[in-house]
Amino acid sequence: MRFFTFIIVVALASVVNTHIYAQLYSLTSTDFFIYFDSDSYTVSAKQQQLLMDKIVGMGATNIKEIYIEGHTDTFASDAYNEMLARNRALATVDILERIGVPARFIKMESFGESDLASELHHKNRRAKVFFVYETDHKSELSPPKWVVIKTIDKKTKKAVKASIGFEYEGQDMKFSSTGNSGVSSAFNLLTDIVTISASAPHYLSAYFTVPSLDIDRPIDTLVYTIELIRVKITGKFTFQNIYFFTDSDEIRPESQPELNKLLAILKRHSGTYLEIQGHMNFPVDRPTNSVQRQWNMELSYKRAKAINNYLVTSGIDQKQLTYVGMSNFRMKHKLPTNKEQEDQNKRVEIYTLKEL
């Protein structure tokens, strides 16, 4: 065990010196669960071995951060379960440190019985281990292709600083910006199917799918200019009862009454530009990292897009609609204390817009 511990320490420590290769990698994440006996925070030998196997299989040199969450079932009082959840998180941290993971790589928090994962009690007696690590996302294209995005005002042709998103077929989204110059860095195209979105304050969001014929062109860098239409807000509608399944962009069936209201409003505003904003609940005191921030943005974007797609299938003209993810940047309650406040943070907002 001592020899293996030494390998883990050196491997994890070496991550600090890998920045020169950062452009070749993307951060991603994975979950691992440790389960406990009832009223216990002892990590069994079997669970320890599974945790060790997880680290080895992932590649210790790739690990950037580890987040631990402690959880319980609903037996016992809230106060007791809060203490038990914390002890489970601490026990997991202790195991990681004993096998050689430096403390600076580990963060933790506990939730008591407030975040149940299942109706089966033994599934709730857990510690969630959230690994943030690097993976090599090489392009599937041969030869490789690069893309540069320029964003300009449609009327003035002046540069617009915009947020850009790359929605790849079957892969995580990537986000960046065009900066004050209105020109992005050169991004490696990972697949031959990608939709690029551009959004900026006071502008209508725009979407562009890279033409398949361009992938076969005998040049290594594709340059596209996206023109953004300047608009002003003329109205706002908030919908707090449009629900999604956890960590998903699938709309829950109980959202139908609110969706019907939304459809009725949009039909009254036919011919008007509409922006759908998806918001998330992610309290500001929760541990976060670049992977979590990207996930928040991607999920809020996909939820807004899901509403967009629902409206299109219900007869609303796509030319009338745009959508944008707001992550957790504009929560009504930074530190929600109850479910009602959490639901208010998960709202969908619709803005009516007029071209200037």
pLDDT at 134: 65
* 270: pLDDT strictly greater than 70: yes
pLDDT tens-digit map of 219-265: 888 899 999 999 888 888 888 788 887 677 888 888 899 889 888 88
Q: Are residues 331 and 263 in the same domain?
A: yes
Q: Are residues 162 and 129 in the same domain?
A: no
- Average pLDDT of 197-201? 88
Q: Looking at the domain assignment, is residue 192 inside a domain?
A: yes
Residue finishing a domain among 136, 171, 188: 136
More confident residue, 19 or 218: 218
| CA pair distance 206, 226, nearest whole angstrom | 7
Instruction: List strand residue ranges (DSSP E) for 187-345, in order.
Output: 187-188, 194-199, 206-209, 221-228, 231-239, 273-278, 321-325
Polymer length in residues for the chain = 356
- Average pLDDT of 264-273? 80
Q: Are residues 68 and 175 in the same domain?
A: no
pLDDT at 139: 60
* 46: pLDDT strictly greater than 70: yes
CB 227 within 8 A of CB 153: yes
Residue finishing a domain among 86, 118, 136: 136
* 179: pLDDT strictly greater than 80: yes
Which span out of 6-20, 67-81, 255-269 was modeled with the highest average pLDDT? 67-81
pLDDT at 39: 92
The CA-CA-CA angle for residues 294, 298, 303, to 5°, reads: 150
Task: Please give the mean pLDDT across all residues of the chain.
Answer: 81
**pLDDT tier at 59, thresholds 50, 70, 90:** low
Residue finishing a domain among 104, 136, 168: 136
pLDDT at 23: 35
| CA pair distance 156, 182, nearest whole angstrom | 13
More confident residue, 181 or 12: 181
Q: Are residues 250 and 346 in the same domain?
A: yes
Q: Are residues 154 and 115 in the same domain?
A: no
Q: What is the DSSP letter of 323?
A: E
Assigned token pair, 131: 């690994």
- Average pLDDT of 200-211? 88
pTM for the whole structure: 0.56
**pLDDT tier at 26, thresholds 50, 70, 90:** low
CATH number of residue 213's parent domain: 2.60.40.1120
pLDDT tens-digit map of 127-166: 999 887 766 555 666 777 888 899 999 999 999 999 888 8
Q: Are residues 23 and 95 in the same domain?
A: yes
Q: Looking at the domain assignment, is residue 13 inside a domain?
A: yes
pLDDT at 135: 62
Q: Are residues 20 and 130 in the same domain?
A: yes
pLDDT at 24: 31
* 16: pLDDT strictly greater than 50: no
SS3 content of the chain, % helix, strand, coil (to 5): 35, 30, 35
**pLDDT tier at 30, thresholds 50, 70, 90:** confident
Residues 6+ apart with CB under 8 A from 118: 124
Least confident of 131-145, 209-223, 288-302: 131-145
Q: Are residues 99 and 153 in the same domain?
A: no
CATH number of residue 341's parent domain: 3.30.1330.60
Least confident of 46-60, 62-76, 99-113, 130-144: 130-144
pLDDT at 137: 56
**pLDDT tier at 18, thresholds 50, 70, 90:** very low
Q: Are residues 6 and 129 in the same domain?
A: yes
Q: Are residues 85 and 124 in the same domain?
A: yes
Q: Are residues 112 and 168 in the same domain?
A: no
pLDDT at 88: 95
The CA-CA-CA angle for residues 141, 177, 301, to 5°, reads: 80
- Per the structure, the complete domain to which residue 211 belongs is given by 146-228
pLDDT at 13: 40
Q: Looking at the domain assignment, is residue 141 inside a domain?
A: no
* 8: pLDDT strictly greater than 80: no
* 47: pLDDT strictly greater than 50: yes
Residues 6+ apart with CB under 8 A from 304: 276, 277, 278, 323, 324, 325, 348
**How many domains, the chain?**
3
* One-letter identity of residue 309: N
Q: Are residues 219 and 236 in the same domain?
A: no
